[in-house]
Amino acid sequence: MSKNRYTHYLIPIGLMLLAFAIWLLLMNQFRLDDSFITYRYAQNAARGWGLVYNRDDAVLSTTAPLYAILLAIFSFIISDFHMLGGLIGTTCIGLSGIFIYALLPRRMSIRVWAGLLYVLSTPLWLSLGMETPLWIMLVLAAVWLASESRWAFAGLLIGLAIFVRPDAALPGGLLGLVVLSQAVNQINTRWRWWRALAAYVLAAAIPVLIFAIWGMATYGSPLPVTLGAKSAQAILGITGLGPFVGTFDGLALIVQDLLAQSPLYVLIGLLMLAGLSRRLPWPIVLIVIWGVFHLLTYAVLRIAPYRWYYAPLLPGAILLATFGLDKIHNWLTSVVGVTRRVAPTFITGLIAVIVLFAPLTSFARINDYFVSGGESRVMLPIVDWDAYREVGEWLDQNTPQDATVGVAEVGQVGFYADRWMTDYLGLLQPDVAAMLKRGDLYSWLAEYAPDYLIFQRFRGAPLVLYNYVIENDPWFLTAYQSVTEIDDPRYSSGPVTIFQRTISKRDMIEQTAQMDYQGLRLVGLAVETVDESRTIRVRVDWDVVSDLPENLHLAVKILDMPVVPSFDADYHTSNWQGTFSTWHTLVLSEDVPAGMYPLHVAVGPTGGPYNGQNVGWFEMPVGF
């Protein structure tokens, strides 16, 4: 066997072995909370309950349905979903490094460096467990197949990638433009010029149509509800990279954090600039454009950014840097002459080796975080998994099977608790996401009133629900009590507290009501019956009939009582439209006599004046 044949096999094997070494030695304990949402979908599918998060609740909250199906299938071989997700992700990172290597011209002796740099990229490893490595690998494989004119297989992989994550439709469309342009150029020169285009489109359409039909039949839509949730979070300034961080702000934070880990990342940026001055093959151009357009799409849609959303930038960045390094090598060769090529090769190799120390430094920082934790940073892991796992296991061992649980970070807690979950980031229930989009931060809690609530208290800070100090809320103080607190000193965000609801949820008495304030119309309400706890919930139904002021204040009160209970809140109403409900909570004093009391609603701009009206009644029965 020739030396080239050995190289043909040894380099891919070496890249795969490197990926598995990183996983086994450094990243096997890493857990990304969001990945456990998909793990729970897969677990329920393996149980025969269907691809759902909560049993009998047909909502598509995972962005990776095909990935969840693969996890469910392979879970019959490897039952540990964390291990299984890590195995799939590691394999895909290694394969992607091979495709990066294969996409570069064979004359480039440094193309193995590109594969190494990709496999060593910590942004990919910090998405381990998510579908990110899988769908990016499928796209890179499709581009490589297309570069070999194997358009049918390229289309099939793009279709599967879209089934894994809808984001793959963007590179799929770019590949479609390439094969279309090739077909048009061959109209007068080639018989059956349309065959490659037809093969690509039909092969891509098969999994996409299966996905769309299945999604419509199962969930009413093939699109995951997380798109609406992320958009709502962005409106409220809730992102995975910090408060009110936009798409490009997030990119800047990632670059800054990487540079703080190692200034050597500057060299990669300089090599990318050098690569931009080269004439690039079309597959490389497509991959670079894909990354840029991906970022622009997220910015236009105003989706709250998370770290793994930036991963599609990596293949293009690494390929550009490789062409930049090759340009430096060619320039050095032209300066010293062909007969003295040792010096250019040595200098180019030295630069390549130095650059590799940047991701190695990042891995060292990550390993330090696993051991000791620390302040949360964009490009370092959040060491929350022990605390969240213990919370989930406590719920599994100490709560009834039919208990409902409310939490923000629903991944690990929900997976280990194995209870019916709702989350106040809007990932699991579309109506919660709609509340957030309306700027309504409280109605989720009052409407669902879960049996158990999970709150994370930042060290030294009060207990909050977003920016609302929930620990001062009269209804919450009466309705819930703390049952246990779990902490991990490595977790910089602070202890996680479990609260149990101590009052019952009771019937809501519907009432006919009407009230108008500019473009806002009150069209109905419901009041909860009272019990010994003297807590009640009020639901107010609204209809937006015309444009509203940008901000409104709502107050719900029960009048003619010794101490008038009220609920007051400010709302950002620019996203109020259609029909919806707001929920309000009240706590009555102990000396309220039996009788009928007017229910009063007031609406007006923040700071007043308010337009108030008695819209219904509250009955205080005898005996309380």
Report the C-alpha gap between 64 and 165 in whole angstroms: 5
- In this predicted model, what pLDDT tens digit does every residue of 404-437 receive, in sequence order? 999 988 999 999 999 999 998 889 999 998 998 8
Secondary structure (3-state) at 618: strand
Secondary structure (3-state) at 90: helix
Rounded mean pLDDT for each run of 10 residues along the chain, 624 residues in total: 64 96 95 95 96 94 94 97 98 98 89 96 96 98 97 97 96 96 80 87 95 92 84 80 90 96 96 94 97 95 90 97 93 72 82 95 94 85 91 97 94 96 91 89 94 89 85 94 92 89 94 92 95 94 92 93 91 89 94 92 90 93 72
Report the C-alpha gap between 597 and 488 in whole angstroms: 49
> What pLDDT sits at residue 339?
52
Question: CA dist 28 to 135, 160, 212, 311, Å?
Answer: 21, 27, 35, 20
For 130-185, what is the HEC assignment?
A: ECHHHHHHHHHHHHHHHHCCCHHHHHHHHHHHHHHCHHHHHHHHHHHHHHHHHHHH
Secondary structure (3-state) at 410: coil
> In one letter, which amino acid is 108?
M
Evaluate whether 604 touches 553 at the Cβ level (below 8 Å). yes
Alpha helices (runs of H) in 302-429, residue ranges in sequence order: 313-336, 342-372, 385-398, 411-417
Report the C-alpha gap between 575 and 301 in whole angstroms: 15
Evaluate whether 513 touches 404 at the Cβ level (below 8 Å). no
Question: CA dist 78 to 41, 44, 87, Å?
Answer: 16, 15, 10
> In one letter, which amino acid is 174?
L
Cβ-Cβ contacts under 8 Å for 286 (sequence gap 6 or more): 143, 171, 174, 175, 178
What tokens does 278 get?
């080269």
Cβ-Cβ contacts under 8 Å for 570 (sequence gap 6 or more): 551, 552, 553, 606
Report the C-alpha gap between 569 and 448 in whole angstroms: 19
Place of tokens 């107010």: 540
Q: Which residues pair with 182 in a beta bridge?
A: none
CB atoms within 10 A of CB 76: 8
Report the C-alpha gap between 436 and 288 in whole angstroms: 35
DSSP strands (E only) in 315-434: 404-407, 420-423
DSSP 62-83: -S-HHHHHHHHHHTTT---HHH
Evaluate whether 275 touches 324 at the Cβ level (below 8 Å). yes
Report the C-alpha gap between 55 and 246 in whole angstroms: 35
Q: What fold does the segment set 385-501 form as a domain?
A: D-Maltodextrin-Binding Protein; domain 2 (3.40.190)
For 276-295, what is the HEC assignment?
A: HCCCCCHHHHHHHHHHHHHH
Map out the domains of the chain as residue ranges: 385-501, 508-620
Bridge-based pairing state of the strands 404-407 and 420-423 = parallel
Cβ-Cβ contacts under 8 Å for 432 (sequence gap 6 or more): 229, 422, 423, 424, 425, 426, 444
> What pLDDT sits at residue 1?
44
> In one letter, which amino acid is 388?
Y
Whether the bond into 598 is cis, omega within 30 of 0: no
CB atoms within 10 A of CB 282: 13
Report the C-alpha gap between 35 and 134 in whole angstroms: 13
Place of tokens 């060769």: 333
> What pLDDT sits at residue 175?
97
Cβ-Cβ contacts under 8 Å for 258 (sequence gap 6 or more): 265, 358, 362, 379
Report the C-alpha gap between 87 and 156 in whole angstroms: 23
> In one letter, which amino acid is 593?
P
Place of tokens 């599918």: 45
Evaluate whether 468 touches 441 at the Cβ level (below 8 Å). yes
What tokens does 367 get?
């390993």
- In this predicted model, what pLDDT tens digit does every residue of 278-321 receive, in sequence order? 899 999 999 999 999 999 999 998 888 999 999 999 999 999 99
CB atoms within 10 A of CB 568: 12
Q: Mutual orientation of helices 313-336 and 81-103 as an angle, nearest 10°?
A: 40
Evaluate whether 236 touches 439 at the Cβ level (below 8 Å). yes
Place of tokens 């061992």: 397
Question: CA dist 92 to 13, 119, 251, Å?
Answer: 13, 10, 24
- Looking at 3.90.320.10, 2.60.40.770, 3.30.420.40, 3.40.50.2020, the CATH number of the domain 508-620 comes to 2.60.40.770
Report the C-alpha gap between 193 and 181 in whole angstroms: 11
CA-wise closest residue to 533 among 479, 473, 480: 479
Report how far apart the first and last C-alpha atoms of the chain are (Å, whole number): 92
Question: CA dist 473 to 300, 463, 476, 567, 591, Å?
Answer: 37, 10, 5, 10, 21
